[in-house]
């Protein structure tokens, strides 16, 4: 295993995510910068600019065409990976804690923090541009007791597995 030094953040790192081919690495931190690294030669390919606060989570779709980020600025950002252009901005009532693509890259999820509001997991179908344009997910699951700290898609994208601040695990 080779060790590498990745610089580019001024605050604590929140999440590190490989793409599926494991040649790209996305890093988010408690600053508004998302860094993308090419691991073959340890070169920083670029940064995604557009957040105004800490970025809690990041995910790339299967073929690394798109990137999803969840910051503390009450929004979820959908990016073109190659150009770094923001394709969509989904507004929320509170910070986004987790985000992810399903295995078919058709559905995105993200969960929100409490911050005076009820926590939700929102589901958007990328095949329906009206959902993105209207900022209305096709499904929204409320969580009353404890905020979600991490969430991933289950086998074959049939469910999500969510970990809560209380230590509880839900499917």
In a domain, 81, yes or no: yes
User: What is the per-residue pLDDT for 81?
Assistant: 94
What pLDDT was estimated at residue 148? 85
- Tally of structural domains, the chain: 1
Check which CATH number belongs to the domain holding 44 and give it.
2.130.10.10
Predicted confidence (pLDDT) at residue 5 exceeds the cutoff of 80 = no
Residue 51 in any domain: the answer is yes
Q: Which of 128 and 147 is assigned the larger pLDDT?
A: 128
Confirm whether 118 is domain-assigned: yes
pLDDT at 92: 92
Structural domain of 65: 13-170
| pLDDT-above-70 percentage for the chain | 95
Render pLDDT for 67-113 as a digit per residue (tens, 0 to 9).
999 999 999 999 999 999 999 999 999 899 999 999 999 999 999 98
Cβ–Cβ < 8 Å for 13, 29: yes
Q: Report pLDDT digits (tens) over 100-133.
A: 999 999 999 999 987 778 888 999 999 999 999 9
Which of 11-15, 79-83, 148-152 shows the highest mean pLDDT? 79-83
Q: How many CA atoms lie within 13 A of 128 on its CB side?
A: 12
In a domain, 1, yes or no: no
Q: Do 37 and 44 contact (CB within 8 A), yes or no? A: yes
Q: How far apart are the first and last CA of the chain?
A: 34
For residue 4, being part of any structural domain is answered with: no
Residue 143 lies in a domain: yes
Sequence length of the chain is 171
**pLDDT tens-place string over residues 26-66:** 999 888 889 899 988 888 888 898 888 899 999 999 999 99
What is the pTM for the complete model shown? 0.89
């Amino acid at each position: 295993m080779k060790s590498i030094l990745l610089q580019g953040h001024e605050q604590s790192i929140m999440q590190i995510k490989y793409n599926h081919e494991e040649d790209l690495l996305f890093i988010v931190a408690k600053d508004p910068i998302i860094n993308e690294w090419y691991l073959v030669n340890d070169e920083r390919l670029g940064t995604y600019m557009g957040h105004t606060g800490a970025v809690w989570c990041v995910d790339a779709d299967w073929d690394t065409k798109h990137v999803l980020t969840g910051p503390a600025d009450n929004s979820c950002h959908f990016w073109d990976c190659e150009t770094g252009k923001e394709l969509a901005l989904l507004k929320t009532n509170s910070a986004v804690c987790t985000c992810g693509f399903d295995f078919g890259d058709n559905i995105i999820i993200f969960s929100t923090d409490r911050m005076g509001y009820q926590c939700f997991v929102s589901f958007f179908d990328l095949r329906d541009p009206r959902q993105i344009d209207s900022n209305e997910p096709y499904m929204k699951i409320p969580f009353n007791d404890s905020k979600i700290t991490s969430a991933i898609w289950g086998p074959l994208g049939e469910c999500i597995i969510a970990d809560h601040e209380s230590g509880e695990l839900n499917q």
